[in-house]
Structures are given as C-alpha cells and as structure tokens.
Amino acid sequence: MSNIIRVVLADDHVFVRDGIKSLLENEANIEVVGEAIDGADALEVVASSNPDLLILDIRMPNLTGIEVVEKLRNENNNVKIIMLSMHESEEYVLKSIKAGADGYLLKGSSKEEFLKALHTVAAGGKYFSGDISSILISQLTNSSNSFEPKQNLGEEMMITKREKEILTLLLYGKGNKEIAEALEISKRTAEVHRFNLMKKLKVKNLMELSNKATEYSLL
C-alpha cells in the first residue's frame, strides 16, 4: 500500500458520505476515490477503484453491508473494511467479524476515534469501537475453551484460556486499560498477561502477533 490511503465510502445517505468526506478532506495521506449509494454499487465501485479501505454502512438497500463483506471475501478481495453502524448490537458486531470485517465503528464516534480506526485498519490492524470488549469476551466465554491449532505449537507455546481472551482483545484494537476493564483485572495484571503471551508466542509486536494467531488458528 502506498503512503496515501485510498478510501471508498458506501452509505445510502448522502449527508453521511459528505460528513465523512468533510472529516477526511484535511488529511494529507487520505484520499476518497469513490462513493457508493447501496450494497450492489459498493461492489462495483470497489472493483473499479481498487481502494485500500472500504468504509461501509451496515444497513443499506440492494445488499447489506454484511452481505457486501461476505461477497468480497468470497472473491478473495482483501480490501480493508470498516463497518459503520448506529447500533452497538452484539448481533451486528459478531456477524461483521464472522463475515471478515476489519473494524466496527459507531456513527457517533469522535473525529479522533474515526481517524484512529481508519489508520489502524489501513495498517493491517483491527478496530472495534464502543463497548465491544464485553461482546467479544461473552462470545469467548460461550464458545468452547478448547481449540485445535493448524500446526503443533509445542507445549511451551500453548496458550491458556485467559491468554486467549487477552489475545482476542489485543487483535481487536484494545489497549491494556480496556483489557483490564473488560476482564475485571488490574491494568498491571493485563500488562503482565500481554508480556507473557507475546514472549510465549515469540513475537515482538501486534503485527507479528496477528500473523502468528492466523498461522496457528489460535482464535
């Protein structure tokens, strides 16, 4: 990806698109290269403009945002995708993650959070705004505690249930303070778990952690 982040905006409300464009117009390293008025249009605009990032309304006519994500991923299109929603809904969040979205942003987010999400996702990270941590933890708690990695990590690298929770929150853009609040532990304890996890998996940063989690199917 070049230094310029090429963005497509997909929302059926023109005032929302105009508002986002206004927010981004003074950002030197961001360029809006296309707009779409519904889900079907979003697929066409992405195909023709080949953006780095798609900012996608979750509720649109002629294919919902989630259906757009599913179609793009089925086509092996790896464009980065941030879902936009008015609702902090567990159903929408989990469906977005399952479909393959890289971020979930509430429409009421501040300019600072919007830009943070955009840059985080464009750089290969994940970003989920609002009180999404509790939804992710709830999903982990309700799912099986056991998992089968694609490859044998070795006994010294097998992660615990708590480390799996830490890993999930880290990969979805949460910092130590947010992790501590979500898991009801101290910030210091969260920092220790994070250090131990990265040491155990032999990674130095979040990008390496994300790659290792994908490679070994840790989530």
176/36: higher pLDDT = 36
Buried b (16+ CB within 10 A) or exposed e, 12-30: beeebbeebeeebeeeeeb
> Percent of the chain having pLDDT more than 70?
86
- The pLDDT of residue 218 is 73
Domain range annotation of the chain: 5-130, 134-215
| pTM of structure | 0.71
- The pLDDT of residue 133 is 64
- The pLDDT of residue 144 is 44
> What is 134-215's CATH topology?
Arc Repressor Mutant, subunit A (1.10.10)
Buried b (16+ CB within 10 A) or exposed e, 145-174: eeeeeeeebeeeeebeeebbbbbbbbbbbb
- The pLDDT of residue 131 is 64
pLDDT digits (tens, 9 = 90+) for 55-100: 999 999 999 999 999 999 999 999 999 999 987 777 888 889 889 9
> Are 63 and 34 spatial neighbours (Cβ–Cβ below 8 Å)?
no
> Percent of the chain having pLDDT more than 90?
42
Q: Is the pLDDT of residue 147 over 60?
A: no
- The pLDDT of residue 213 is 81
What one-character DSSP code corresponds to residue 155? Answer: G
Residue of 124, 84, 131, 119 whose CA lies nearest to 105: 84
Least confident of 70-84, 102-116, 149-163: 149-163
Whether CATH 3.40.920.10 fits 5-130: no
What integer best gives the mean pLDDT of the chain?
Answer: 85
- The pLDDT of residue 146 is 41
Structure confidence at residue 107 as a pLDDT band (50, 70, 90) = confident
Residue of 187, 176, 68, 168 whose CA lies nearest to 128: 168
1/102: higher pLDDT = 102
Same fold, 5-130 and 134-215: no
- The pLDDT of residue 126 is 84
Can you read off the two tokens belonging to residue 152? 């044998």
Least confident of 39-43, 123-127, 171-175: 171-175
